[in-house]
Amino acid sequence: MTRNRSIVLLGALMLNATALAVDLPKVETYKSATCNCCNRWIEHVRQQGFDVAAYDVADVNAERRRLGMPDAVSGCHTAKVGGYVIEGHVPASDIKRLLSEKPRALGLAVPDMPKGSPGMKSSNPV
């Protein structure tokens, strides 16, 4: 492949990646300032092309309730994206599917903090 064709191909790939990132809405995440797994989940979501605003809050449970997510499915952080609520360590691929399919739903939840979910260290990741 010639140098010019390589540059054009690289430019097209970069434009495509930028377009995908622009189409994804911002993820607003409410978390404890001391929770490292929340920070790892945020990094996972960012690596998948989302822009993330992270807010350290004193009471994550209050934020979850404010957004309407039931306590029965609580995780360690709560987020909102594209009109949906995301509770816990939901994989970015599932968030993208939710945004693509747009079902009538409150959102998605991964209750508790399961080992192997995005942001949770495990020798057997999901």
Q: What is the pTM of this model?
A: 0.77
What sections of the chain are H helices per DSSP?
3-23, 36-47, 60-67, 92-101
Over the range 85-108, which residues count as b (16 or more CB within 10 Å of their CB) and which as e? bbbbbbbbeebbebbeeeeeeebb
**Mean pLDDT lowest among 1-5, 58-62, 66-70, 116-120:** 1-5
C-alpha angle 70/104/43, rounded to 5°? 65
Identify the pLDDT of residue 116.
73
> Can you give the pLDDT at residue 30?
98
Q: What pLDDT, in 10s, does the model give residues 77-126?
A: 999 999 999 999 999 999 999 999 999 999 999 988 767 777 777 666 55
Strand bridging mode 78-81 / 52-56: unpaired
- Give the per-residue pLDDT at 73: 95
Q: What tokens does 48 get?
A: 């998948």
Q: Is the pLDDT of residue 16 over 60?
A: no
- For 29, residues 6+ apart whose C-beta sits below 8 A from its C-beta are 38, 42, 52, 53, 54, 55, 77, 78, 79
> pLDDT tens digits, residue range 17-57?
444 445 899 999 999 999 889 999 999 999 999 999 999 99
Q: Which residue's structure tokens are 């404010």?
A: 66
